[in-house]
Amino acid sequence: MEQINEASVQKEGGARLKKGGKGLYIALGVIVLALAGTYLGLCAYAGSLGTFYPNTTINGVAVGGLTPAEAAGKLREAIPRQTLDFYLPLTDEAGDGETASEGDVLYGDTPTDTVSYEALGITGDLDYDSGAQFVFDLSQTEPGFLADGWNLLTNLVGRRSAKGIALDPDEAIFTERVQQLAQAFSREPADTAYEVTEDSLEITLAQNGLTVSSAALENAASAALKEGHSQVYVEGTILPAKTKTAQEIHEEVSGEVKNASYDAKTDTILPEQAGAEFDTAAAQSTMDAAAPGETVSIPAEVELPAVTAEELAPLLFRDVLGEARTHVGGTSARKSNVKLSAAAINGYTMNTGDVFSYNGVVGQRTAANGYQAAPAYVKGETVDEIGGGICQTSSTLYLACLRSNLEITERYAHRYIPAYITAGMDATVSWGGPDYKFTNNTQYPIKIVTTYADGYLTVKVLGTNVDGTSVKMTNEWLSTTPYEVVYEDDSTLPAGTEKVKTSPYTGYKYRTYRNVYDANGKLISSTYEATSDYKSRDKVVLRGPAVESPDTPVLGPEEIPVPSEPGDVTPAEPGELPEPPTDSANPPETDSGQSPETTPPPLIVIPEEGI
């Protein structure tokens, strides 16, 4: 009985739950129907409105509750009076990592310029009626009955309420005004500058420049006009100015003063600049407190220059400091390359402290720049390459600089010993690779002068030699690395014949010295200059099949004699090819052509006659 009662109770309880569920569904249905009815009523109301929904704006002008015609009148009156605020980048500031990402461009709080829409060609004569009606139809008529209620609701809560019409300004007025703005917004960078007066140093702080494109500014302003925006954050290219610290300025003006110099562009002598000694810490503090572009005055003890413009005028390029001359051989293309590279450095001038870069001055050797394919070294092989031969110009210049007693900044010897210049006096160059550089360490401007005549290239360095010193270069032969003869079988050659595949080079190692003499010919100093380690290259000979004869024994490769080849050795040209010293402590002058007692090692002919 208890089990039956329990089952009965469970069944009755289940029946009660079922009845309660039906009531809930009925209640939910009633609510849905009520909401649907309300929404349909809202849709009907929204569709009946002949005015813009509440909170509607067109190009920033509030038109809610207005008919299209009324809205057009309000737009006609308000829009021309609207303004655009133009904000320029703070060119001398970047993000701090907190208020903006570090490195991002920041904008100031105050607009650089404010321009009315009317000044940009947006007047009351535009067709605002069509624009207002278009917005009304698009947002309140075309969506449909069921969408009208939803659109009204979104407007009531402030969503989808901002509308816009296209504002087409007078093209001539708009373009002219934008170009004026772009020009006014752009400025050149101003590097840190200073001037030494009688008792102070006037420092003008650097200020970055800015380039604003007229086209980009026109696009940004046009977009703002169409969308009713009031601000334009101008995008431009920041032009970095070169800045200097007080310490850097101190290094330039303290101790040594700035002598008068030469301006090649105007062919004029620039005036001298006095030097100054000052407190760098105090100067830096004053500079840090100043704004970009501001000029501050720093107390200083002023020093006078050693060479004034008046003194330099009669001495400018008066003397030949050093000269070198080499014979130019090889193909016509190689000779053309030597001429072209020599012309590129001809007339190049340098003031005190300037650094010459051969690659920088000559530029990239391309066919477009007039260079031709000629023999050159590439990874130890001799191949035709655009610009082959230009190393002869750099080598001749290097020797002229040595004889001018100039400071050599960067120089590399060739892989193989060249035949056109004294061993150890060459300088190889390659675009994107080795460069030849030297510094004008004299107190006067210098000029490079090149001439090409009768198959010879001559390079002179002109300057001012006030003490009559001169330089003679000598070299010391350290070692010789002979080449070997390597045979390779080649079945395509006729039996018993041979063909040279790779021409050989003997390796040498030389040490060079710079010997400075006074005006009376007395040796002042003899200093080590450089070590040149020229590599050897084996001679590779292709050999055809051996000729078999019953009367002639077949020789093995090691038994075949090496044939002598005419032209393997070139006699030294007087004063140009290297000679070993008889006394390493007092090496002889190879430039003079004097022959030491010891026989020099042979120089192998380069088939291309110098690369």
Q: pLDDT per residue over 128-152, tens digit each? A: 998 888 888 877 776 766 666 666 7
Q: How many Å separate Cα 339 from the centre of its chain? A: 29
Mode of pairing for the β-strands spanning 319-327 and 456-463? antiparallel
- What angle in degrees, to the nearest 10, is found between the helix axes of 280-289 and 246-253? 130
Confidence of residue 611 (pLDDT cuts 50, 70, 90): low
Of all helices (H) and strands (E), which one includes residue 261? strand 261-263
Q: pLDDT tens across 429-446, in order? A: 999 999 999 999 999 999
List CB contacts of 172: < 8 A, sequence separation 6 or more.
Answer: 121
Model confidence at 102: pLDDT above 80? no
Q: pLDDT tens across 500-526, in order? A: 999 999 999 999 999 999 999 999 999
End-to-end Cα spacing for the chain: 122
Could you tell me what percentage of the chain is helix, strand and coil, using 3-state DSSP and rounding each to the nearest 5?
Answer: 30, 30, 45
Model confidence at 28: pLDDT above 80? no
Confidence at residue 95, expressed as pLDDT on a 0 to 100 scale: 65
What phi and psi, each to the nearest 5 degrees, are found at residue 450?
-120, 145
Would you tell me how many other CB atoms lie within 10 Å of the CB of residue 179? Answer: 14
- Give mean pLDDT, residues 405-429: 96
Which burial class, exposed, middle or buried, applies to 124 when counting CB atoms under 10 A from its CB (0-12, 13-18, 19+)? middle
- Give mean pLDDT, residues 289-298: 94
Confidence of residue 465 (pLDDT cuts 50, 70, 90): very high
| Length of the chain, in residues | 611
Tokens of 571: 């006699």
The single-letter DSSP state of residue 80 is: G
Q: How many Å separate Cα 43 from the centre of its chain? A: 64
Confidence at residue 97, expressed as pLDDT on a 0 to 100 scale: 62
CA distance 97 to 92: 16
User: Greater confidence, 126 or 335?
Assistant: 335
Mode of pairing for the β-strands spanning 105-107 and 89-94? antiparallel
Q: pLDDT tens across 348-407, in order? A: 999 999 999 999 999 999 999 999 988 776 666 677 788 889 999 999 999 999 999 999
Confidence of residue 566 (pLDDT cuts 50, 70, 90): very low
Confidence of residue 17 (pLDDT cuts 50, 70, 90): very low
User: Greater confidence, 420 or 588?
Assistant: 420
Would you tell me how many other CB atoms lie within 10 Å of the CB of residue 321? Answer: 24
**The pTM is what?**
0.50
Model confidence at 167: pLDDT above 70? yes
Confidence at residue 567, expressed as pLDDT on a 0 to 100 scale: 33
- What angle in degrees, to the nearest 10, is found between the helix axes of 128-136 and 68-78? 130
Of the listed ranges 24-38, 222-236, 296-310, 582-596, the least confidently predicted one is 582-596
Of the candidates 37, 26, 128, which has an alpha carbon nearest to the alpha carbon of residue 74? Answer: 128
Of the listed ranges 130-144, 169-183, 307-321, the least confidently predicted one is 130-144
Mode of pairing for the β-strands spanning 237-239 and 209-211? antiparallel
Average pLDDT, the chain: 82
Per-position DSSP letters for 502-543, written without gaps between them: E--B-EEEEEEEEEEE-TTS-EEEEEEEEEEEEPPBPEEEEE
Q: Are 395 and 422 in contact (CB under 8 A)?
A: no
Question: 456-479: b or e for each residue (b if 16 or more CB lie within 10 Å)?
Answer: ebbbbbbbbbeeeebbbbbbbbee
Of all helices (H) and strands (E), which one includes residue 410? strand 407-410
Mode of pairing for the β-strands spanning 268-270 and 261-263? antiparallel
Confidence of residue 96 (pLDDT cuts 50, 70, 90): low
CA distance 41 to 439: 91
